[in-house]
């Protein structure tokens, strides 16, 4: 199983994000709204017994619920090429704290530390040879986007099946934040 830990998003918020998208940016593959999520930790291909350890470790995490606000849009680039278009998250120490706890729990399970800095985001589109001027116009047009704060009452272990068009993400376990 290919696994990752993420926050899912309430449907009204997904719809709000979806309303931003679809506009003609050649080279953008828009993520379908059912796949929107905020990744806390990518885990990757995992054997069954390992997955059980991971589930136990995540179930032992104690953290309080909180709220977070999606705001702003931006892009990731790799070697000078834009690879993803996303909506950002307002600075949120409680989110960072939760992500930290998850990272620590997973390292205790034997996973290699995540080397990349945590940059919370919700991917709207994956980009391949994107029309850069159109992308820049989109970012400029939506930079002031700011959603209503959303309550975070659980986090979720997802499995992911890679597909040609879009991947299929299945929530496997939800972990309650009390």
Rounded to whole angstroms, the Cα distance separating 169 from 159 reads: 6
49 belongs to the catalytic site: no
Query: For the chain, where are the alpha helices, taking DSSP H only?
Result: 11-20, 48-59, 93-108, 132-142
Per DSSP, the three-state class of 153 is coil
Active-site residue among 37, 97, 142, 154?
Answer: 37
Q: Would you count residue 39 as binding ligand 3AM (CB under 6 A)?
A: yes
Tokens, residue 168: 């299929």
Please give the span between the terminal C-alpha atoms of the chain, in angstroms, as a whole number. Answer: 28
Binding segment (CB under 6 A) for ligand 3AM, from list 36-44, 54-62, 87-95, 141-149: 36-44
In the bound state with ligand 3AM, the residue whose beta carbon lies nearer, of 43 and 57, is 43
Within residues 99-158, the interface with ligand 3AM by CB under 6 A covers 123
Q: Would you count residue 11 as binding ligand 3AM (CB under 6 A)?
A: no
In the bound state with ligand 3AM, the residue whose beta carbon lies nearer, of 39 and 69, is 39
- Count CB atoms within 10 A of the CB of residue 164: 5
Rounded to whole angstroms, the Cα distance separating 92 from 120 reads: 10
Rounded to whole angstroms, the Cα distance separating 30 from 123 reads: 9
97 belongs to the catalytic site: no
Q: Would you count residue 66 as binding ligand 3AM (CB under 6 A)?
A: no
Binding segment (CB under 6 A) for ligand 3AM, from list 7-15, 22-30, 37-45, 63-71: 37-45
Rounded to whole angstroms, the Cα distance separating 22 from 127 reads: 13
CB of 42 to ligand 3AM, least distance (A): 3
* Count of positions on this chain that bind ligand 3AM (CB under 6 A): 7
Within residues 76-105, the interface with ligand 3AM by CB under 6 A covers 84
> CB–CB of 127/83 below 8 Å?
yes
Q: Would you count residue 159 as binding ligand 3AM (CB under 6 A)?
A: no
């Amino acid at each position: 199983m290919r696994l990752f830990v993420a926050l899912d998003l309430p449907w009204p918020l997904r719809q709000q994000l979806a309303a931003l998208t679809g506009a003609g940016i050649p080279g953008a593959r828009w993520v379908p709204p059912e796949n929107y999520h905020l990744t806390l930790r990518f885990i990757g291909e995992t054997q069954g017994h390992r997955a059980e350890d991971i589930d136990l470790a995540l179930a032992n995490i104690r953290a309080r619920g909180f709220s977070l606000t999606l705001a702003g849009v931006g892009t990731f680039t790799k070697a000078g090429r834009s690879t993803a278009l996303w909506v950002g998250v307002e600075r949120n120490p409680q989110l960072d704290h939760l992500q930290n706890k998850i990272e620590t729990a997973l390292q205790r399970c034997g996973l290699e530390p995540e080397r990349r800095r945590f940059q919370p985001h919700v991917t709207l589109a994956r980009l391949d040879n994107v029309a850069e001027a159109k992308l820049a116009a989109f970012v400029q047009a939506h930079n002031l986007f700011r959603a209503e704060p959303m309550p975070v009452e659980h986090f979720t272990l997802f499995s992911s099946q890679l597909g040609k068009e879009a991947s299929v993400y299945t929530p496997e376990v939800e972990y309650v934040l009390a």
